[in-house]
Amino acid sequence: MIPKHKEKLVLTFNKAAPEDINFLLELRKLSMTEHLLAAGLDYDDEQHKARILEYYNDTYLLNLADKAIGVVKLGQMADRWHIRQFQILPDYHGKGVGTKVLSLLQSKAQSVNMPITLNVLYQNPARRLYERMGFKVIGENGLEYQMKWSLQ
């Protein structure tokens, strides 16, 4: 259940464990299949799992009231942080979760003087969220936009 006041949204981040892979597979299929298909990519479960397992040590479950509702995979490079994956269960879209997560990441990144980058598929409406949160398109690769949030 989402609180009526989005500012009271209390999220926790927990390092993903091996037993979380089934949740992450279901999450990825629910949140990404439509956008991948729009990009001409038809992934099977093994391809989804390969993406989940890539950089698995950077994977954090997003929890609301002790229930896993999403994932953020955050790579910390020497010159920036890179959001490798960011997915939220569709039932929680439009309820302030994405804004809250990005706000928390931006606050932490600002405290260590790091910009944040990410890639988003051309057809993925999450681009609007990223733009609203101050990310700018800095390039594209034929499949997705490359975006960057710079320190204010």
pLDDT in tens, 75-91: 999 999 999 999 999 99
Contact 70, 27 (CB under 8 A): yes
120: left (phi over 0), alpha (psi -120 to 50) or beta: beta
Tens digit of pLDDT for each residue in 89-113? 999 999 999 999 999 999 999 999 9
Model confidence, pTM:
0.90
**What's the half-sphere exposure (Cβ side, CA atoms, 13 Å) at 91?**
8
Measured N-to-C along each axis, helices 21-38 and 45-53 cross at an angle, to the nearest 10 degrees, of 110
